[in-house]
Amino acid sequence: MLAMLRRTLSTLWALPTTSLGLALGTLALPFGARWARHSGVIEIHGGLITWLLQHATLLQGGASAMTLGEVVLGVSPAALELTRDHERVHVRQCRRWGPFFLPAYLAASALARVRGRHFYRDNFFEREAYALSDPRHASSS
Confidence of residue 141 (pLDDT cuts 50, 70, 90): very low
**CA-to-CA distance for 45 and 43, rounded, in angstroms?**
7
DSSP 69: T
The DSSP element (H or E) to which 34 belongs, if any, is strand 34-38
Among the listed residues 73, 82, 83, 86, the one whose alpha carbon sits nearest the alpha carbon of residue 125: 86
Confidence of residue 134 (pLDDT cuts 50, 70, 90): confident
DSSP 33: -
Confidence of residue 140 (pLDDT cuts 50, 70, 90): very low
Q: What is the per-residue pLDDT across 8-36, written as a single tens digit (0 to 9) for each? A: 999 999 999 999 999 999 999 999 999 99
Q: What is the per-residue pLDDT across 84-127, written as a single tens digit (0 to 9) for each? A: 999 999 999 999 999 999 999 999 999 999 999 999 999 999 99
Confidence of residue 40 (pLDDT cuts 50, 70, 90): very high
Q: Where are the domains of the chain?
A: 2-140
Q: What is the per-residue pLDDT across 68-80, written as a single tens digit (0 to 9) for each? A: 999 999 999 999 9
